[in-house]
Amino acid sequence: MQNFRDKTAVITGAASGIGLATARLLAVKGMQVALLDNREDTLAKACRELEEEGYPVLGQVVDIRYPDAVNQAADTISSRFGSVNLLINNAAVFIRGHGITEVEQDVWDWLMDVNLRGTLNCLRTFLPLMQANGEEGHVVNTCSISGLVVRDRKNGIYATSKFALVGLSEALAFDLAGTPINVSVLIPGAVASDFYLSSAEHRGSLGGPNLFPDTPEDTANGMSPADVAERLIDGIRHKRFYITTHAANRAMVEQKYRELMAAFDAAESFET
């Protein structure tokens, strides 16, 4: 997409962090923006701020785990703004501190229902609307560097969901090849947002004691959500499938793929 003016964006997890920063930037560029989030008070505050700045926004309190709730939001958005051109599946939750086999089933269900199935619910609802208008469109699935490389941070359940989301995005890109709708996967590193704390709030008592510190040290000096949003919009403009934000993460990915290439070299040597 090169032209954003007078078009409509739908953003999940839009009440704060990357979602809100992206909503603001798109509004500045002339888009009508629907902000979806399940934090009613936080969402109301975000919409009020954008409206006071003079931007056309619509807030919808939605838990994306539930298809009917997503469908109802879509009906409201269509009535207010008409066709949808840009879908940013940004909503996600996080947990760390547990080994894979230590995480109880209810925690697995909660996290996968939001991070993976919630994204799928939004795709099933909004993608047909985008296809029906026959215009150029774009889908962005917010992932993480943890969707490419697993580090020793005991966040394996989160990484599993994001690895799956990268695969879903690659498959979606193949499905939509040759159509006016492009697909991107956003891969940020540490971001200075309330993501960890809001995830802990949503998780409640699931998984036992809250393992999130009040000020996560790995996000204290993270990239600002506004800077992530700038990189995201640039990636959309250039129709990049992978949109990365933190150049310093290149080394981890290169190391992973050196190991993969070495494995293929070993296979080739074995065959000969």
Q: What is the CATH number of the domain that holds 110?
A: 3.40.50.720
Give the other-Cβ count within 10 Å of 24's Cβ.
21
State which residues of the chain have pLDDT below 50. 214
Domain residue limits at 207? 8-271
Question: Which residues are paired to 12 by β-bridges?
Answer: 36
pLDDT value of position 210 = 59
158 as an active site residue: the answer is yes
Q: Would you say 108 and 153 are in contact if contact means Cβ atoms under 8 Å apart?
A: no
pTM, full prediction: 0.93
Query: Is 1 part of a structural domain of the chain?
Result: no
**Residue in 66, 158, 196, 257 annotated catalytic:** 158
pLDDT value of position 247 = 93
Q: Would you say 122 and 86 are in contact if contact means Cβ atoms under 8 Å apart?
A: no
Query: Is 129 part of a structural domain of the chain?
Result: yes
Q: Using CA atoms, how far apart are residues 210 and 66, in angstroms rounded to an integer?
A: 25
Query: Is 2 part of a structural domain of the chain?
Result: no
Task: Count up the domains in the chain and report the number.
Answer: 1
Joined tokens for residue 129: 């609307």
pLDDT value of position 218 = 55
Q: Tell me the CA end-to-end span of the chain in Å, nearest whole number.
A: 48
Query: Is 3 part of a structural domain of the chain?
Result: no
Query: Is 248 part of a structural domain of the chain?
Result: yes
Sequence-separated contacts (24+) of 166-170 with Cβ below 8 Å = 168/116, 168/119, 168/120, 168/141, 169/141, 169/143, 169/241, 170/241
pLDDT value of position 220 = 62
Distance of CA 147 to the CA centre of its chain: 11
pLDDT value of position 165 = 98
pLDDT value of position 22 = 98
Query: Is 64 part of a structural domain of the chain?
Result: yes
Under the phi-then-psi rule, with left for phi > 0, alpha for psi from -120 to 50, and beta for the rest, what region is 82?
Answer: left
Query: Is 260 part of a structural domain of the chain?
Result: yes
Q: Using CA atoms, how far apart are residues 242 and 253, in angstroms rounded to an integer?
A: 13
pLDDT value of position 9 = 98
Query: Is 82 part of a structural domain of the chain?
Result: yes
pLDDT digits (tens, 9 = 90+) for 96-111: 777 889 888 999 999 9
